[in-house]
Amino acid sequence: MSSSGTRRGARRYSDRVAASQTGTFSTTRTEAYTDAVFAIAATLLVLDLTTDSFGRIGSDRAMWAALGDLWPNIMSFVVSFALLSGMWMIHLRQFRDVRAVDTTLLWLNNARLLFVVLIPFTTALTSGYSDYVAGRILLPIDFFFVALLGHLSWRWAAARGGHLLKPEAYEQRAAGAAGGLAAVCCAALAVALSPWIGSWAFLAFFLNGPLAALLLRRAQRRGHGDTDSA
């Protein structure tokens, strides 16, 4: 981008920030509340790992056999904890660059947390009812909405010239949007595959990094084309 284009972008950013000062709040309490909800949801995942189904254990062999029978629950726990941690890391990176929150961003974040708190329940469905399509598909759908609402939160913060972003994050709008959109696409793919392969569908998230890089390059090429035409 040319220096004149950078200066014009900086001026537009300053104008947007000045116009959005009214009706915004500090991110501190939003971050604390969101971190607490993620932490509680992650902790509740372990409640699905219980010894209630063990019955009478009379030997080490029976103990190991009972633990082996828990593998669907353990797999669901590990997958959900890993993905929930990944979603929290996305939230962490987003709010590192967010200067303030407004009512719209608060409600987008609250909607995301609604699906975060459902994750222990949908995880239990996956481990207990994986023989049924509903049992296999509801957890991927849950993560899809967490990813989608996280992406929409970033898009809103970066909208109108980055009106809710910190000055140093203004030029990173495209990278944040690409990462969020990649997560949404991977989650959608997991939803599509889950009726057939269950929790293995979450392997689609390994495509997140390459897909984010591809989307970012595409956005940068489009941006260069717009600059050249201007």
Per-residue model confidence as pLDDT tens digits over 149-166: 999 999 999 998 888 999
DSSP, residue by residue, 117-161 = HHHHHHHHHHHH-TTSHHHHHHHHHHHHHHHHHHHHHHHHHHHHH
Q: Is the pLDDT of residue 15 over 50?
A: no
Statement: residue 200 has pLDDT above 90: yes
Q: What gap in Å lies between CA 98 and CA 196, rounded to an integer? A: 39
- The mean of the pLDDT values for the chain is 87
Mean predicted confidence (pLDDT) in 171-179: 89
Residue 119 has pLDDT above 50, yes or no: yes
Q: Looking at the predicted structure, is the pLDDT value of residue 145 above 90?
A: yes
Task: Write the single-letter amino acid at 205.
Answer: F
Cβ atoms of 24 and 105 closer than 8 Å: no
Question: What is the predicted pLDDT for the residue at 38?
Answer: 97
Q: What is the pLDDT of residue 1?
A: 47
Q: State yes or no: pLDDT of 113 exceeds 90.
A: yes
**Portion of the chain with pLDDT greater than 70, in percent:** 86
Residue 17 has pLDDT above 60, yes or no: no
Give the Å distances, CA to CA, from 153 to 103, 108, 133, 159, 160: 11, 6, 30, 10, 13
Alpha carbon distance 158, 178 (integer Å):
12
Residue 222 burial (C-beta neighbours within 10 Å; 0-12, 13-18, 19+): exposed
Distance CA 230, CA 218 (A): 18
- For residue 9, the tally of other CB atoms under 10 A from its CB is 15
Structure confidence by residue, pLDDT tens digits, 63-103: 888 888 888 888 899 999 999 999 999 999 999 999 999 99
pLDDT value for 21 = 54
pLDDT of residue 230: 45
The whole-number average pLDDT for the span 163-180 is 90
